[in-house]
């Protein structure tokens, strides 16, 4: 088959930009042999044209003038790698209006302005490809959109921020404190320059907004997602949770809400008439949340360590599917971007983009389950005065809120000022009841610091037999 030349322009020549330039240059022959497409890097735009880079470009390719890319009609694809939401949005709009298809890794921009950008792309007859925006090199978006197209997606549980996973892994296995683990993650380049969005769960929420919209078929707004980060996690809780059989992960969770409450098997084993009716009635209720989660140590996601990402998805036909790999970094992200460039050039992206039918935002407001209605299990730690009757008081407050204890742990004389850590785990309970109980516990003069509360997420596993 005759080769087709495809000219590509990059905007942003940082770490990922260098990776994309390297792949396009070094793998051009291999890509041509596989696809009949001859990728050519025609133009790279960056405000900094002087600093030395990891990749050497041919003379005349690097410029600080974006019009060189916008005005060149022979360049079909513009790759936006600027990051952030202000300049990047204007760049993407200009690329689309100039008749170029857009490839991007910009999760924050898509999560905040994705709907507006998609409308602009449709209006201009172009497409936006964004595989690299979620979970770096893992082909999760095409996995959901294409590989799982025949399924109703019932739930997804993702470790989608490498920085948080690295920090929690190190706090678990090396007994490091949070600041020590964070500074190590920054040194290794996993965290963004400003790690706030990594550790406060914002980055995971951006990725969940994108993944959930694809999986559930709705325009999702960031406000739909409940977000809690890992900034206040202490290694003591990781340790106590570990003793009770749990491993701590920051999870991004998208679930059909009533399934969370009434059908935690996601239909893997549940075939009763009642369960089927419940699923049908609840189809349109979705719970979207990012929070630290204790999961069983023998769950497959518990073995995802360090900066790796993984997403476990439950589909109506396929059961459980798990995607695993590097969620960040120069070459894994470049791998996803160049895959998108190829898909755009082959015409596949335009087709899938045209058929990406997301129900409009104004139809979704009532469909998002409020966090107060979440039914899950909880880990609660109290620093209690070591004196008679305290455990009974705690039990009484929980009982008054109809919360049933499923496990308990207390170590002798560990806390400051004659306090002991009292840890209880609960049976499935509504979040609003636990919030009320925590307020009451906090008022007891035998409880000496704010109660710590971490959700326990019982992720089902699709197993043989
Ligand atoms: N800072 C992000 C992470 C990079 O740690 O996962 C990839 O989005």
Distance 208 CA to ligand 1 centre (A): 13
The pLDDT score that the predictor gives to residue 270 is: 42
162 ligand 1 Cβ < 6 A: yes
Residue 403 sits in a domain whose CATH number is 3.30.70.260
Q: Which domain holds residue 81?
A: 4-130
190 ligand 1 Cβ < 6 A: yes
Q: Which atom of ligand 1 is nearest to the CA of 107?
A: 8
Tokens of 440: 């009451």
Name the residue of 19, 84, 161, 165 to mutate for ligand 1: max ligand atoms within 8 A of Cβ: 161
Distance 190 CA to ligand 1 centre (A): 6
The DSSP secondary structure of 287-323, one letter per residue, reads EEEEEEEEEETTSGGGG--TTEEEEEEEETTTEEEEE
Q: Are residues 9 and 119 in the same domain?
A: yes
Name the residue of 305, 328, 329, 330 to mutate for ligand 1: max ligand atoms within 8 A of Cβ: 328
The pLDDT score that the predictor gives to residue 280 is: 44
203 ligand 1 Cβ < 6 A: yes
Cα-flanking dihedrals φ and ψ of residue 369, to 5°?
Answer: -70, 130
The DSSP secondary structure of 171-217, one letter per residue, reads HHHS---HHHHHHHHHHTT-S-SSTHHHHTSHHHHHHHHHHHHHHH-
Q: Are residues 145 and 266 in the same domain?
A: yes
Q: Are residues 149 and 125 in the same domain?
A: no
Tell me which of 337, 372, 407 is where a domain ends.
372
**Which residue has the least CA distance to atom 4 on ligand 1?**
328
Is residue 109 domain-resident?
Answer: yes
Residue 274's H or E segment, with its range, is: helix 273-282
Q: Are residues 100 and 170 in the same domain?
A: no
The pLDDT score that the predictor gives to residue 360 is: 74
Q: Which atom of ligand 1 is nearest to the CA of 164?
A: 5
328 ligand 1 Cβ < 6 A: yes
111 ligand 1 Cβ < 6 A: no
The pLDDT score that the predictor gives to residue 142 is: 95
Contact predicate 249/292, CB 8 Å: yes
Is residue 299 domain-resident?
Answer: yes
Q: Which atom of ligand 1 is nearest to the CA of 191?
A: 1
Distance 73 CA to ligand 1 centre (A): 34
Is residue 356 domain-resident?
Answer: no
Is residue 346 domain-resident?
Answer: no
Q: Are residues 406 and 283 in the same domain?
A: no
Q: Which atom of ligand 1 is nearest to the CA of 165?
A: 5
192 ligand 1 Cβ < 6 A: yes
191 ligand 1 Cβ < 6 A: yes
134 ligand 1 Cβ < 6 A: no
Residue (of 8, 4, 7) closest to 32 by Cα position: 4
What are the residue numbers of the active site?
207
CB burial string 164-191: b at 16+ within 10 A, e below: bbbbbbbbbeeebebeebbebbeeeebb
Tell me which of 130, 165, 195 is where a domain ends.
130
Phi-psi region of 125 (alpha: psi -120 to 50; beta: other; left: phi over 0): left
Distance 133 CA to ligand 1 centre (A): 10
Distance 159 CA to ligand 1 centre (A): 11
* 177 Cβ neighbours under 8 A, 6+ residues apart: 171, 235
327 ligand 1 Cβ < 6 A: yes
Residue 164 sits in a domain whose CATH number is 3.30.360.10
80 ligand 1 Cβ < 6 A: no
Is residue 348 domain-resident?
Answer: no
Tell me which of 99, 130, 161 is where a domain ends.
130
User: pTM higher than 0.75, yes or no?
Assistant: yes
Is residue 42 domain-resident?
Answer: yes
Is residue 404 domain-resident?
Answer: yes
pLDDT digit of tens for each residue in the chain (465 aa)? 789 999 999 999 999 999 999 999 999 999 999 999 999 999 999 999 999 999 999 999 999 999 999 999 999 999 999 999 999 999 999 999 999 999 999 999 999 999 899 999 999 999 999 999 999 999 999 999 999 999 999 999 999 999 999 999 999 999 999 999 999 998 888 887 789 999 999 999 999 999 999 999 888 889 999 999 999 999 999 999 999 999 999 999 999 865 444 444 554 544 343 344 344 444 468 999 999 999 999 999 999 999 999 999 999 999 999 999 999 889 999 999 999 999 999 999 999 898 887 877 666 655 888 999 999 999 999 999 999 999 999 999 999 999 999 999 998 877 778 899 999 999 999 999 999 999 999 999 999 999 999 999 999 888 887
163 ligand 1 Cβ < 6 A: yes
Q: Are residues 177 and 195 in the same domain?
A: yes
Considering its fold, how many domains does the chain have in total?
Answer: 3
Tokens of 248: 């701590």
Distance 124 CA to ligand 1 centre (A): 31
Q: Are residues 101 and 153 in the same domain?
A: no
**Which residue has the least CA distance to atom 7 on ligand 1?**
328
Cα-flanking dihedrals φ and ψ of residue 309, to 5°?
Answer: -115, 155
Q: Are residues 155 and 296 in the same domain?
A: yes
The pLDDT score that the predictor gives to residue 271 is: 39
Residue 38 sits in a domain whose CATH number is 3.40.50.720
Q: Are residues 123 and 87 in the same domain?
A: yes
Phi-psi region of 347 (alpha: psi -120 to 50; beta: other; left: phi over 0): left
Distance 213 CA to ligand 1 centre (A): 20
Q: Are residues 183 and 282 in the same domain?
A: yes
460 ligand 1 Cβ < 6 A: no
Q: Are residues 428 and 442 in the same domain?
A: yes
Distance 178 CA to ligand 1 centre (A): 17
Residue (of 81, 85, 368, 366) closest to 203 by Cα position: 85
Is residue 462 domain-resident?
Answer: no
The pLDDT score that the predictor gives to residue 365 is: 59
Q: How far apart are CA 341 and CA 336, in angstroms?
A: 9
Q: Are residues 35 and 55 in the same domain?
A: yes
């Amino acid at each position: 088959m005759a080769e087709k030349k495809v000219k590509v322009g990059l905007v942003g020549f940082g770490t990922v930009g260098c990776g994309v330039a390297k792949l396009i240059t070094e793998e051009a022959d291999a890509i041509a042999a596989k696809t009949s497409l001859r990728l050519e890097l025609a133009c790279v735009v960056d405000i900094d044209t002087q600093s030395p880079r990891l990749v050497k470009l041919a003379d005349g390719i690097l410029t600080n003038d974006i019009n060189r890319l916008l005005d060149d009609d022979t360049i079909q694809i513009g790759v936006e790698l600027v990051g952030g939401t202000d300049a990047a949005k204007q760049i993407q709009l200009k690329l689309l209006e100039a008749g170029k298809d857009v490839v991007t890794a910009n999760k924050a921009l898509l999560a905040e302005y994705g709907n507006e950008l998609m409308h602009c792309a449709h209006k201009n007859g172009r497409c936006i490809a964004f595989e690299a925006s979620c979970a770096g090199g893992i082909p999760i978006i095409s996995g959901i959109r294409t590989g799982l197209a025949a399924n109703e997606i019932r739930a997804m549980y993702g470790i989608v921020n490498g920085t948080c996973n690295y920090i929690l892994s190190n706090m678990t296995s090396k007994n490091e404190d949070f600041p020590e683990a964070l500074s190590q993650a920054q040194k290794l380049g996993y965290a963004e320059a400003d790690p706030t969005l990594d550790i406060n769960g914002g980055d995971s929420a951006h990725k969940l907004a994108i993944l959930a919209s694809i999986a559930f078929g709705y325009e999702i707004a960031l406000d739909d997602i409940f977000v809690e980060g890992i900034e206040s996690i202490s290694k003591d809780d990781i340790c106590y949770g570990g003793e009770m059989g749990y491993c701590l992960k920051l999870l991004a969770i998208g679930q059909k809400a009533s399934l969370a409450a009434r059908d935690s098997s996601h239909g893997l084993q549940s075939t009763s008439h009642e369960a089927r009716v419940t699923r049908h009635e609840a189809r349109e209720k979705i719970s979207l949340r990012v929070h630290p989660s204790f999961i069983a140590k023998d769950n497959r996601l518990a073995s995802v360590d360090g900066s790796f990402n993984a997403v476990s998805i439950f589909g109506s036909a396929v059961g459980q599917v798990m995607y695993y790999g590097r969620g960040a970094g120069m070459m894994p992200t470049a791998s996803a971007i160049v895959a998108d460039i190829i898909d755009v050039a082959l015409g596949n992206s335009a087709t899938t983009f045209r058929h990406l039918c997301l129900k409009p935002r104004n139809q979704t407001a009532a469909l998002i389950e409020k966090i107060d209605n979440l039914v899950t299990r909880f880990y609660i730690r109290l620093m209690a005065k070591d004196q008679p009757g305290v455990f009974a008081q705690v039990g009484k407050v929980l009982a008054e809120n109809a919360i049933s204890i499923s496990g308990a742990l207390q170590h002798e004389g560990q806390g400051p000022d004659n306090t002991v850590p009292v840890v209880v785990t609960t049976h499935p309970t509504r979040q609003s009841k636990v919030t009320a109980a925590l307020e009451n516990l906090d008022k007891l003069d035998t409880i000496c610091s704010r109660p710590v509360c971490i959700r326990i997420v019982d992720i089902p596993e699709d197993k043989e037999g």
